[in-house]
């Protein structure tokens, strides 16, 4: 479980195909405090640590994950958003994020508004109904507030701090980003679906 508050910008050090995709990620985390088997959200995808070094960790990415996320586009040198799993007592600064990506959203527009950047995304048709104004979404692992929704398109605002402590400063129209809808929205929709089927 995560909060969508990015705590490090990692960098892809090496990629190796070995059945699954093995990725080595350079990090500023104290890797002595990370256990093999720990979960780390990498651009919003919950991945399991399978190897560790002084300033890096490795994860395996399955074909299923590659098919549902933008991790298939990873290349050596790419900056990625990192967040370690929540511990009991940690501050919940964003919203509850599982690290299970629902689909890919496309960046439609990026425009500066003062020091901030306004981004417009297009969600997959099957996910658009779960996104609501002033609700939360996780995009590449970052907890963001939805400003407005119009059909499949929705907008968010990035303040300067967010651009400095994440990889969002490099976003461009046409980019595909990992989208996780709000868990609460998922359960409300399921409850409504169940109620209708039981009526």
- Express each pLDDT in 84-98 by its tens digit: 998 877 777 888 899
For domain 8-84, give the fold. Answer: Elongation Factor Tu (Ef-tu); domain 3 (2.40.30)
Report in angstroms the alpha-carbon separations of 52 from 11, 25, 83, 95. 15, 10, 16, 29
For domain 103-198, give the fold. Answer: Elongation Factor Tu (Ef-tu); domain 3 (2.40.30)
Residue 161, SS3? helix
- Which regions in the chain score pLDDT beneath 50? none
Structure tokens at 120: 């417009």
Strands 39-42 and 153-158: unpaired
Q: Which pLDDT value is given to residue 199?
A: 65
Q: Which pLDDT value is given to residue 187?
A: 65
Which residues, including other chains, have CB under 8 Å from residue 120's CB and lie 6 or more apart? 107, 108, 109, 110, 153, 154, 155
Q: Which pLDDT value is given to residue 181?
A: 93
Residue 165, SS3? helix
On the 0-12 / 13-18 / 19+ scale of CB atoms within 10 A, 193 is exposed
Q: Chain-centre distance of CA 125, in angstroms?
A: 19
> CATH 2.40.30.20: which residues of the chain?
8-84, 103-198
């Amino acid at each position: 479980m995560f909060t969508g508050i990015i705590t490090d910008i990692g960098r892809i050090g090496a990629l190796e195909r070995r059945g699954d995709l093995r990725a080595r990620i350079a990090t500023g985390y104290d890797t002595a405090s990370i256990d093999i088997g720990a979960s780390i959200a990498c651009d919003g995808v919950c991945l399991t640590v399978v190897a560790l070094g002084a300033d890096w960790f490795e994860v395996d990415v399955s074909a299923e994950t590659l098919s549902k996320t933008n991790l298939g586009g990873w290349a050596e040198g790419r900056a990625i958003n990192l967040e370690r799993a929540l511990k009991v007592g940690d501050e919940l600064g964003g919203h509850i994020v599982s690290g299970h990506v629902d689909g890919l959203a496309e960046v439609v527009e990026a425009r500066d508004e003062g020091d901030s950047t306004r981004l417009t995304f297009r969600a997959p048709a099957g996910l658009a109904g779960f996104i609501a104004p002033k609700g939360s979404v996780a995009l590449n692992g970052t907890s963001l507030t939805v400003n407005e929704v119009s059909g499949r398109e929705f907008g968010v605002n990035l303040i300067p701090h967010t651009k400095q402590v994440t990889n969002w400063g490099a976003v461009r129209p046409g980019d595909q980003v990992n989208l996780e809808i709000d868990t609460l929205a998922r359960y409300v929709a399921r409850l409504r679906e169940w109620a209708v089927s039981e009526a």
